[in-house]
Structure 1
Amino acid sequence: MTVIKGNESVDGDASIRELLSDDVLDVLLERSKDEAGQLRLTGEGSMLGQLVKAVLERALEGELTAHLGYGRHDASGNNSGNSRNGRGKGKTVQTGVGPVRISVPRDRAGSFEPVLVPKRAGRVAGGLDDMIISLYAHGMSVRDILHHLKQVYGTDLSHEQVSRITDQVMDEVKAWQTRPLDPTYAVVFLDAIVVKVRDNNVVTNKPAYIAVGVDTDGEKHVLGIWLARTPAESATAAESARFWASVMADLRNRGVRDILIACCDGLKGFEDAINAAFPATVVQTCVVHLIRNALRPVARRDAGAVAKELKKVYTAVDADAALEALAEFAGTDLGRKYPQAVKVFEDAWDRFTPYFAFTAPVRKLLYTTNGIESLNYQLRKVTKARGHFPTDDAVVKLLWLAIVNIEDKRARERAAKRDNGDKHAFQPARLVEGQRVAGWREALNELAIAYPGRIR
């Protein structure tokens, strides 16, 4: 495309600066100064606001021309049955640079329906919507977003308008939550963050569970987000075998047919639920969760010594050696002082020992849910600013937006490092999604031997 500037033609790829003369820029600068002589780039009457106004009104003129079928002052419009009819009463629309006052052209037949700025629309979608969704994804509450828009851009929106804007992503969220999954996952990690949600007219703490699966190529994927429903007669969310059965049914309905190992934090009812849906799956308790639970009753001054003794348990060569190390610790002064630390491992022994059937590559993969815990740490920062969520869908919406935002942030950081010559910048950019497990080839070979015919 070629545009005309004065007597010159400028290619369509030219920058805005090349298209605007110095005289035009000087006028814009002068008009954008406040009483103190300071430049106002955003907000009502600002330089960017005037540019947006000009572009919008020009675009609306183009829409009317397309509607009528002829241009302004074009003789072909004579006796056409419809023609331009001036401009309607001006209206203020909210944009990404603040409120902008525009006038909308009219036709005599009253049949013109603007697309860019629809009738009765109070804002221009696009920049403003994207800004609000980004602020929401960073953890700002609706009230904080309203205050930010008013303070920085002079934009007035209602609580309902902001909620409707963020709800625009719900179709994407639902599509993501129901997308087809791979038939086989080598390992599925499951962990939770606790959020406050209004349920049955009561604000209650609810665990929001997030699953991360490692596919047969060794790549991690966030499989979904689930919140337990609260029965009307109960005051707490239903973290039960029934809940876990519904989660496993959801995975099966989305195409999962086999999970080799499910790694979790020893959640009640999880083992029975997963084996009902996937009978051949081995349930492995996360070792790091066990250590944390074992150290919870230990005084800070003794924590280091107890952790050192417990390390002998989970680094043993096999299950028998681990049991012997645990018995030795139970017989020490520290073991007798903190019997609960021993009991934590004893209670989870059957779900802890599958870990010993493998060598270092697979043990490292199963040792901890660090990948998902790192993600949850980021998500907790986003949810921390919230008093409570009005619905379960609001929780899923924010967590999905936050995951997308976190992944994109990491990708940008990697790209910036790569541009600066960082030799490590070519490692996976994602925090979770699409990241490849370290040492996967060795782990894959061992898993293929341990589970013949199940990894394809």
Structure 2
Amino acid sequence: MTHFQFNLNMDDLKESVLNSNMESVMKSMIVLVLNEYMEKERDDHLNIPRHQRSLERQDYRNGYYERELLLKIGRVKLRVPRTRNGEFTTSVFERYKRCDQAFTLAMLEMVVNGVSTRKVKNVVKELCGESVSKSFVSSLTEKLDPIVRQWAERPLNTEYYPYIFVDALYIKVREHHKVVSKAMYIATAINTKHEREVLGMKVDHEESYEAWKEFFERLKGRGLQSPKLIISDAHSGLKKAIQKEFVGTSWQRCTVHFKKNLIQSMPKKDMGEVKRDLKRIFDSVSPEDARESKEKFITQYSDNTKLDKTIRKLEDGFDDAIQYMTEPKDYHVYIRSTNSLERLNQEIRRRERVIRIFPNTQSAFRLLGAVLMDYADMLKLKRPLFVNKKPGGN
């Protein structure tokens, strides 16, 4: 490493301190140090100190030009030395480039974590004394594009995922000068190490068979193998796409959604005991026990005409709602509903509410993808759901 020894002009430093407020003193000191550092770099390049003559000189001095440098304390203006042939370059800007990068990443982190671009603008002004436009902050988020894209397209063939959870939530996006609703498709999973993972996401038009089919095709194209169980709500297009793309995979209807649908079909009053008996069906451990509880429920309430609709719905959706019971008992609490995915959706909503309306589909993919990446990193720090159990075991 090259070492430079130089003396600062103390008169210049004293004048800067005396004529500046305390907020600018540090900037003045740094400017003097960096300017002198670059001057010594030029002397070293020329192989001759200032105000001396030598036959070994490499080039001639050619004045200065001004250039700004953004540091943690704010923006400073430096006098950069030049040489006649233009071959001299200073290391100052390369060395301090990471400060600009850290500054940019800090703004990106604020946006991803749900801070509005307006608030980011105010924070930057307060910390650095610099004004930046909202459009400038927004443009910085484009730096996330290659990072999110790489994560969203990573291979999935290095691990087997026996249980996959899928859902879609709606967001608002500007498109052709209108605000439209679009669906954000999300897939999470439990792997063979009993760990949760985020598999992927997609922003597309509203839920449909074609959209879900394309989403599953992308996952399979990245190497995803057919799981044992896919857990979701009862969207008809989603169910059809699962049957088409994952032959041999069972579909588990989310029991939380299913019970809510059944309760909504009941009368509003005097249903406390009925709800408790309904809950007992899904507290069963085996399909046989659940089926027996279901038959008792139907026998007990078949004479109540107000529950005819509830009983029909129960019989129609019962088999799809107890598929998790065919899996090892230790998994039951984790795979009978999409509750884990609902919690992730809430986290996405918390960030999305700050933005409210995405300027375009790509911005929605970029920022929500960054949120999912952050969530995925958090999952890696958690312990497995349990140990010493394997999917498919007894």
TM-score category of the 2 structures, normalised to the smaller one:
0.7 to 0.9
- Secondary structure class of the residue paired with 2:181: strand
Q: Distance in 2 between matches of 1:309 and 1:110?
A: 86
Q: Any conservation in 1 of the 2:267–2:306 contact (CA below 8 Å)? A: no
1:150 and 2:125 correspond: yes
1:401 and 2:348 correspond: no
Q: Select the residue among 104, 119, 130 that pairs with 2:105.
A: 130
Q: Report which stretch shifted further, 373-382 or 103-112.
A: 103-112
Q: Which residue of 2 aligns with 1:85?
A: 62
The alignment of Structure 1 onto Structure 2 pairs a total of residues equal to 383
Q: Distance in 1 between matches of 2:252 and 2:309?
A: 21
Q: Any conservation in 1 of the 2:168–2:186 contact (CA below 8 Å)? A: yes
Q: Select the residue among 331, 353, 356 that pairs with 1:387.
A: 356
Q: Which residue of 1 aligns with 2:188?
A: 212
- Letter aligned with residue 190 of structure 1: V
- Secondary structure class of the residue paired with 2:355: coil
Q: Deviations over 1:24-61 (max 9, x none)?
A: xxx8xx77985xxxx64xxxx263x4566467546755
Q: Deviations over 1:127-163 (max 9, x none)?
A: 2112111111111222332232224432122334323
1:269 and 2:246 correspond: no
Q: Deviations over 1:297-351 (max 9, x none)?
A: 7788778666533311211342422432552575486x826x6655654453342
Measure how far apart 1:126 and its partner are. 1.7
- Secondary structure class of the residue paired with 1:257: coil
Measure how far apart 1:361 and its partner are. 1.1
Q: Distance in 2 between matches of 1:162 and 1:361?
A: 47
Cα distance 1:4–1:117, how it changes in 2: closer, same or farther (>3 A)?
closer
Q: Select the residue among 284, 287, 292 that pairs with 1:321.
A: 292
Q: Distance in 1 between matches of 2:317 and 2:383?
A: 29
Structure with more relative contact order (C-alpha pairs < 8 Å, separation 6 or more): 2
Q: Select the residue among 156, 160, 164 that pairs with 1:184.
A: 160
Q: Distance in 1 between matches of 2:53 and 2:263?
A: 85
Q: Which residue of 2 aligns with 1:164?
A: 139
Measure how far apart 1:278 and its partner are. 2.2
Cα distance 1:354–1:380, how it changes in 2: closer, same or farther (>3 A)?
same
Q: Deviations over 1:184-217 (max 9, x none)?
A: 2111111333321123442122221221122222
- Secondary structure class of the residue paired with 2:344: helix
- Letter aligned with residue 119 of structure 2: D
- Letter aligned with residue 85 of structure 1: N
1:106 and 2:85 correspond: no
Q: Which residue of 1 aligns with 2:385?
A: 438
Q: Any conservation in 2 of the 1:95–1:127 contact (CA below 8 Å)? A: no
1:404-443 map, 5 Å:
404-406=373-375, 430=378, 432-433=379-380, 435-442=382-389
CA RMSD, aligned part only?
Answer: 4.1
Cα distance 1:5–1:74, how it changes in 2: closer, same or farther (>3 A)?
closer
Structure 2 stretches lacking a partner, 5+ long: none
* Percent identity for Structure 1 against Structure 2: 24
Q: Which residue of 2 aligns with 1:14?
A: none
- Letter aligned with residue 231 of structure 2: C
Q: Greater CA radius of gyration, 1 or 2?
A: 2
- Secondary structure class of the residue paired with 1:222: strand
Q: Distance in 1 between matches of 2:274 and 2:176?
A: 43
Q: Which residue of 2 aligns with 1:312?
A: 280
Q: Any conservation in 1 of the 2:216–2:245 contact (CA below 8 Å)? A: yes
- Secondary structure class of the residue paired with 1:100: strand
- Letter aligned with residue 283 of structure 2: T
The normalised TM-score by structure 1 is: 0.70
Q: Distance in 1 between matches of 2:272 and 2:76?
A: 62
Q: Which residue of 1 aligns with 2:336?
A: 367
Q: Which residue of 2 aligns with 1:447?
A: 392
1:228-307 map, 5 Å:
228=204, 237-295=205-263, 307=275
Cα distance 1:223–1:440, how it changes in 2: closer, same or farther (>3 A)?
same
- Letter aligned with residue 185 of structure 1: Y
Q: Which residue of 1 aligns with 2:174?
A: 198
Q: Any conservation in 1 of the 2:195–2:385 contact (CA below 8 Å)? A: no
- Letter aligned with residue 174 of structure 2: R
Measure how far apart 1:253 and its partner are. 1.2
Q: Distance in 2 between matches of 1:380 and 1:208?
A: 11
Q: Distance in 1 between matches of 2:74 and 2:165?
A: 44
1:22-61 map, 5 Å:
34=21, 40=23, 45=24, 47=26, 49-50=27-28, 53=31, 57=35
- Secondary structure class of the residue paired with 2:335: helix
Measure how far apart 1:356 and its partner are. 2.8
Q: Distance in 2 between matches of 1:190 and 1:399?
A: 16
Q: Any conservation in 2 of the 1:198–1:204 contact (CA below 8 Å)? A: yes
- Secondary structure class of the residue paired with 2:228: strand
The normalised TM-score by structure 2 is: 0.80
Q: Distance in 1 between matches of 2:296 and 2:369?
A: 43
Q: Which residue of 2 aligns with 1:16?
A: none
Q: Report which stretch shifted further, 171-180 or 138-147.
A: 138-147
- Letter aligned with residue 336 of structure 1: K
Measure how far apart 1:80 and its partner are. 4.6
Q: Deviations over 1:360-384 (max 9, x none)?
A: 3121221233333322222211111
- Secondary structure class of the residue paired with 1:361: helix
1:336 and 2:321 correspond: no
Q: Any conservation in 2 of the 1:77–1:83 contact (CA below 8 Å)? A: no
- Letter aligned with residue 358 of structure 2: F
